[in-house]
């Protein structure tokens, strides 16, 4: 993987319509039933030291799962996944890289799997990409050291590196592995519209300028609140969620 695109880049676009994050946090706390209840629901990102230790087979499994979930029912993929694990030898990159064409053809025709020949072959291609990255320290090291202030740059880097991995799928992959960041979902887009902050595309291929604005916005809110990006996202989403049954007695507004 290449160096992050932060260095030498022009200043980020101004953040349109930015409001103080404390307003969003107060609304989220009110809907959660108080600040303590809100705090108890917030996720913690995985430390960089732990990210460096993620095994290659774990990366290949998650990348492969993300590619098959794109355009397919998540429930169907989950039901078939034990068969995928067995068919691809636990997603060991060296083993998968050595599969011959006949074996890949057999997997593409296997009813226990999802019969998508190009995606089946992409698993091998992605295994070989992981192997190539070893010369530069490996994917785990690259992800661990990538600055979260440019997490959208990492989405694009992963999408360029691995076959059938879209930008939004890359964001979800990072969430599953525990890297700090946010995921460009329709719910996130709705929350930003609710606060009249910025319009974003919540689809699988959001426009790059929109992502740059979103990154700048999250960076500013993280700086304002002293919280990681994943907690900023969780608070933003909670601020538009229905109030809990216990209501709020904290008078936080």
pLDDT in tens, 40-95: 999 999 999 999 999 999 999 999 999 999 989 999 999 999 999 999 999 999 99
The span from the CA of 102 to the CA of 33, in Å, is 58
The predicted pLDDT at position 205 comes to 52
Q: How much is the pLDDT for 199?
A: 59
Distances from the Cα of 10 to the Cα of 1, 7, 13, 14, 163, angstroms: 21, 9, 9, 12, 29
Arithmetic mean of pLDDT, 145-160: 98
Q: How far is CA 232 from CA 11, 58, 229, in A?
A: 22, 27, 5
Mean pLDDT of 141-167: 98
Summarize pLDDT for 225-250 with one digit per residue, the tens: 999 999 999 999 999 999 876 666 45
> How far is residue 144's CA from residue 168's CA, in Å, rounded to a whole number?
19
pLDDT, residue 81, reads 98
Among 194, 245, 183, 180, which Cα is nearest to 27's? Answer: 194
7: number of Cβ within 10 Å: 7
Confidence (pLDDT) at 243: 86
The pLDDT of residue 113: 98
**pLDDT at residue 14 tops 80:** no
Identify the CA nearest to 15 among candidates 209, 206, 191: 209
- DSSP 8-class letter at 198: -
Higher pLDDT, 183 or 199: 183
What phi-psi label fits residue 71: left (phi over 0), alpha (psi between -120 and 50 degrees) or beta? left
pLDDT at 109: 98
Structure tokens at 234: 């969780």
- The whole-number pLDDT of residue 197 equals 77
Domains of the chain, each with CATH number or no CATH = 21-45+181-238 (no CATH), 50-177 (1.10.340.30)
Instruction: Judge whether residue 22 has pLDDT over 80.
Output: yes
Percent of the chain with pLDDT over 70: 84
Across the chain, what does the average pLDDT equal?
A: 89
The pLDDT assigned to 11 comes to 36
For 93-137, what is each residue's pLDDT tens digit?
999 999 999 999 999 999 999 999 999 999 999 999 999 999 999
Can you give the pLDDT at residue 107?
A: 98
pTM to 2 decimals?
A: 0.86
């Amino acid at each position: 993987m290449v160096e992050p695109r932060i260095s030498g880049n022009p200043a980020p676009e101004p953040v349109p319509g930015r409001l103080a994050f404390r307003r969003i946090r107060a609304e989220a706390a009110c809907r959660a039933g108080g600040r303590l209840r809100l705090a108890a629901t917030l996720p913690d990102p995985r430390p960089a030291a732990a990210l460096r230790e993620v095994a290659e087979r774990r990366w290949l499994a998650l990348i492969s799962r993300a590619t098959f979930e794109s355009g397919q029912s998540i429930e169907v993929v989950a039901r078939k996944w034990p068969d995928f694990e067995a068919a691809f030898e636990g997603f060991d990159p060296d083993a998968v890289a050595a599969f011959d064409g006949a074996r890949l053809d057999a997997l593409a025709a296997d009813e226990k799997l999802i019969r998508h020949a190009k995606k089946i072959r992409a698993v091998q291609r992605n295994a070989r990409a992981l192997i190539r990255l070893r010369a530069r320290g490996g994917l785990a090291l690259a992800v661990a050291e990538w600055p979260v202030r440019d997490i959208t740059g990492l989405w694009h880097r992963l999408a360029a590196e691995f076959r059938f991995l879209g930008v939004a799928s890359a964001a979800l992959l990072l969430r599953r592995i525990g890297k700090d960041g946010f995921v460009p979902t329709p719910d996130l887009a709705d929350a930003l519209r609710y606060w009249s902050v910025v319009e974003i595309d919540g689809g699988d291929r959001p426009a790059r300028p929109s992502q740059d604005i979103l990154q700048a916005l999250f960076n500013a809110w993280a700086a304002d609140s002293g919280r990681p990006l994943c907690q900023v996202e969780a608070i933003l989403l909670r601020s538009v969620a229905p109030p809990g049954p216990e209501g709020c007695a904290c008078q936080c507004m």
